[in-house]
Amino acid sequence: MKVALTGASGLLGSAFVDALIAGGHAVHAIDRKSIAGQSPHTIAERLDGVDWLLHAAANTNVELCEVEVDACYRDNLILSEQVADAARLAGVPLVYMSSTGVYGCGAITPFAEYDDANPTTHHHRAKLLGEAAVLARSGANLVIRTGWLFGGEPENPKNFVARRIEEARRVRAEGGVMKSNQQQVGCPTFTRDVVSRVLALVDSGHTGIFNCVNTGSASRFEYVSEIVRLSGESVVVKPADAGIFNRRAKVSDNEAAVNWRMTQLGFEPMPRWEHSLATYIASLRGITHPEGGGV
Ligand SMILES: NC(=O)c1ccc[n+]([C@@H]2O[C@H](COP(=O)([O-])OP(=O)(O)OC[C@H]3O[C@@H](n4cnc5c(N)ncnc54)[C@H](OP(=O)(O)O)[C@@H]3O)[C@@H](O)[C@H]2O)c1
């Protein structure tokens, strides 16, 4: 199988690259230089012989998207339209990575695919419009709404788990406490679990919108507490109200979701987030650190 992908250097894209190569598949990365200023026809020429295309490239800086609004819609909506047009011209099915953040406000229980989407930030509005653009271009396309992703190289500045472990180490050295948002709830989700489930969905020919998150949900506070506990750092994590973090992007307090559609179709539940987080943090312990303690 030959798979093309955008966003191959990102947190999720790199997990797809690793899994596809390990599975003996050919991978064709389409980087930002190959897309910028190119027509869909030109991009389509690069899809010759490709079985499917993963669109994982996105402007994922939710805070900056509130300030640089044009860049937000250009990198999330226009880019997705361009890629979806190219996929349609080449006759290649597209898998579009989206977010459970598109559900926005409107419910206090985890969202299922039949719930309305009411995004509360420019980033999530752009992702939702990107979904619509992708689905309008071909009935063969798949949209994946995933959760708070963890995984990948600890050096990646966007690695939430590695950054929290660093923070815990720093705070311990300073004798302080960590604070984490107790209001916002979501589904911590391992990139490797998403990759294997997306490959299964593609393999079985499913199309349309799917939530794809690890089982269970947590507040940021519960998530960070579990990261700290599993990393073995003896630091107190205290629950805090959202207000103290002074965020520009008013992300909904509820980004939690369930894989309702997959459940109806008879797919096995995805692993619980605590289980996958433990697996991931155990894998980080094998990585040499200047202090000799893992990440
Ligand atoms: N991370 C999360 O927690 C999360 C949660 C829900 C959904 N998602 C979705 O999952 C997907 C992957 O996210 P991620 O966390 O892997 O993102 P990431 O680590 O921030 O990586 C973003 C990728 O997109 C590329 N990119 C950004 N702007 C581009 C542009 N204008 N043209 C071409 N390529 C561009 C980047 O390339 P460069 O290396 O050149 O910058 C990079 O490869 C995204 O669709 C995101 O919305 C992520």
Secondary structure of 211-277 in HEC code, one letter for each residue = EECCECCEEHHHHHHHHHHHHCCCCCEEEECHHHHCCCCCCCCECCECCHHHHHCCCCCCCEHHHHH
d(Cα 150, Cα 11) in Å, to the nearest integer?
8
Those residues with Cβ within 8 angstroms of residue 279's Cβ, 6 or more apart along the chain or in another chain: 190
Distance from residue 12's CA to the centre of ligand 1 (Å): 7
Q: How far is the CA of 175 from the centre of ligand 1 (A)?
A: 35
75 lines ligand 1 (CB under 6 A): yes
Task: State percent of the chain over pLDDT 70.
Answer: 97
Given this chain, do its domains 2-147+190-212 and 150-186+217-285 carry the same CATH topology? no
Report how far ligand 1's centroid is from the alpha carbon of 9 (Å). 8
226 lines ligand 1 (CB under 6 A): no
Residue type, 144: I
Residue nearest to atom 21 of ligand 1 (CA): 10
Q: Where are the domains of the chain?
A: 2-147+190-212, 150-186+217-285
User: What does CATH list as the number for 150-186+217-285?
Assistant: 3.90.25.10
Q: What is the pLDDT of residues 95-151, one digit of tens each?
A: 999 999 999 998 889 999 999 999 999 999 999 999 999 999 999 999 999 999 999
Q: What's the CA-to-centroid distance between 149 and ligand 1, angstroms? A: 11
DSSP character for 37? T
pTM of the predicted structure, to 2 decimals:
0.95
Sequence letter at residue 11: L
The whole-number pLDDT of residue 293 equals 40
Which residue's CA lies nearest to atom 36 of ligand 1? 7
CATH number, span 2-147+190-212: 3.40.50.720
